[in-house]
Amino acid sequence: MNIGYIGLGAMGSALATRLQQAHPLRVFDLQPDAVQRLVATGARACGSACELGTHSDVVLVCLPTSSHVRALLDGPDGLAAGLRPGSLLIDQTTGDPAVTRELAAALAARGVALVDAPVSGGAAGARAGTISIMVGGSDEACARAMPVLQAISPNVLRAGEVGAGHVMKLVNNVLSAAQRLASMEALSLAAKNGIDPQRACQILVAGGARNAFLEKSMPAVLQGDLAPGFTLALMHKDVRLACDLGASSGVPLFYDNLTREMLQMSISELGAQAQVNEPALMFDRLAGTRVVPPVNSSTHAARSAR
């Protein structure tokens, strides 16, 4: 089985590196340095998406948005031009389920199956092989995709038909974003009222307010490390897509729309390319607290002044 991987950003490169431990890979990315890092560990570089598709039975992609996936497929040198009937495309992008279903239908007309398989757990989880993979697709396509995905992580969970993996990723990310912001706000409340933030976090993790952000990410924030490798722009995109899905499917999302507005406010203050943990600085400014210690204080000051 010939496997290709396209999209070697922070997450894609981690997923591809993990997959490469079990399967030889062909790779393609618009950034030559990203390609060379995989080539250095044994991958074969391709000069275009079309070339990679021509030589692959299975192609995985991990791009910023569904619009990028559409653009990758289109055109005379696009991926779709190289994919042969009978091949399989696995989309690990955090995508729009409606676009995913549209692309799946177009590919099916060419004899190509699409499975959506976004992930949750960060690049570190991808490298460690512990990341969660949410899968949508037909029974046949998912059965073909399963051995490939299980080479990345054993935590592969089928959500339903095509597009269902992307639905669950949006549900996951909107809940994660809400927990993140609510936890930052709660730590500011504790700090404002005389509780040491480190101690407050320990107490919350031991009680009913425990959540993944408090357990895994807040300890880094409390040390001044605000860079988990995911931007506010990408988180806002995911939450916006979840809110759009709520509107189109008739589901009221009161808290999630508030989360979207809080992320927009954070972008207005900190910038779209700020990290998702940097709103802790904004909560400190609003509350007059210091949950985030003055590590890299000049950077913190510059962010807070925006």
> 304: pLDDT confidence band, cut at 50, 70 and 90?
very low
DSSP SS3 for 27: strand
pLDDT of res. 123: 87
- Regarding predicted confidence, which is higher, 199 or 297? 199
Distance CA 230, CA 220 (A): 14
CATH class of 3-162: alpha beta
6: its two tokens: 């396209």
pLDDT tens across 221-270, in order? 999 999 988 999 999 999 999 999 999 999 999 999 999 999 999 999 99
11: its two tokens: 């997450």
8-state DSSP, 84 = P
169, 192, 216, 237: the catalytic one is: 169
pLDDT of res. 73: 97
Residue with tokens 């051995």: 147
pLDDT tens across 27-61, in order? 999 999 999 999 999 999 999 999 999 999 999 99
Beta strands in the chain (DSSP E): 3-6, 25-28, 44-45, 58-61, 88-91, 113-116, 119-120, 132-136, 156-160
The answer to whether 151 and 257 are in contact (CB under 8 A) is no
The answer to whether 155 and 131 are in contact (CB under 8 A) is yes
| Every domain of the chain and the residues it spans | 3-162, 167-304
The answer to whether 98 and 125 are in contact (CB under 8 A) is no
pLDDT tens across 160-179, in order? 999 999 999 999 999 999 99
Average pLDDT, the chain: 94
Provide CB contacts within 8 A for 290, sequence distance 6+.
191, 284
* Out of 75-84, 135-144, 182-191, least confident range: 75-84
CATH class of 167-304: mainly alpha
54: its two tokens: 């021509």
The answer to whether 31 and 8 are in contact (CB under 8 A) is yes
pLDDT of res. 305: 41
pLDDT tens across 174-212, in order? 999 999 999 999 999 999 999 999 999 999 999 999 999
Provide CB contacts within 8 A for 132, sequence distance 6+.
119, 120, 121, 125, 153, 155, 157
- Segments in 109-231 forming alpha helices (H): 122-128, 139-150, 164-192, 197-206, 212, 218-221
Which of these, 135, 73, 133, lies nearest to 99 by C-alpha position?
73
Residue 298 has pLDDT above 50, yes or no: no
Provide CB contacts within 8 A for 31, sequence distance 6+.
8
The answer to whether 241 and 168 are in contact (CB under 8 A) is no
Distance CA 208, CA 200 (A): 13
DSSP SS3 for 108: helix
Residue 306 has pLDDT above 50, yes or no: no
* pTM of the predicted model as reported, rounded to 2 decimal places: 0.92
Residue 22 has pLDDT above 70, yes or no: yes
pLDDT of res. 296: 53
Provide CB contacts within 8 A for 271, sequence distance 6+.
232, 303, 306
How many Cα atoms are found within 13 Å in the side-chain-facing hemisphere of 289? Answer: 24
**Annotated catalytic residue 169:** yes
